[in-house]
Amino acid sequence: MASWFECKVTYHKMVENGMQKKVTDTFMVDALSFTEAEARVIEEVTPFVSGEMDVASVKKTKISEIFRDDAADKWYLVKPAFITIDEKTAVEKRSVSQILVAGNNFKNAYDNFMEGMKNTMADFEIVSIVETAILDVYSAKLDAPGQQ
């Protein structure tokens, strides 16, 4: 199971008028530890930055799954509530998950979420869909067996 870390990186970016502006961008990284997440975000972002770069923060998230769409340019946080019935008490229980979904707009993110959930047997309802400031998502790099 993936452990997703939200990493904020501060650097100088060239803006439309040709001036340098200090910006902080957010990235998601699949890593085993805070240290690995920081190293991965530095490795992934460095080729796109000229000048100094600083990892401003790294925090663990409760993202349970990522639904990608290579044609999309935004990330949305979808919170579905999975509904179960307690067999002993017959009480309905809702457990909310957090799923990061790529989409070009709200409707596209909703469609991508529903496509990703089409094979689930569980009953669920969407609690919220919110656009995030995340620029990119970096999955774990898996080495071939026997290599170090």
121: DSSP letter: -
Structure tokens at 78: 């979808």
Q: Model confidence at 146, in pLDDT bands (50, 70, 90)? A: very low
Of residues 147 and 17, more confidence is placed in 17
Dist. CA 110–CA 124, nearest whole Å: 14
Could you read off the pLDDT of 121-133 as tens digits, one per residue?
989 999 999 999 9
Q: Model confidence at 147, in pLDDT bands (50, 70, 90)? A: very low
Give the N- to C-terminal CA distance of the chain in Å, as an integer.
21
In percent, the amount of the chain with pLDDT more than 70 equals: 95
pTM (two decimals): 0.88
Q: Please state whether beta strands 20-30 and 134-138 pair in parallel, antiparallel, or not at all (unpaired).
A: parallel
Any residues with CB less than 8 A from the CB of 49 and at least 6 apart, and which? 11, 12
Could you read off the pLDDT of 34-43 as tens digits, one per residue?
999 999 999 9
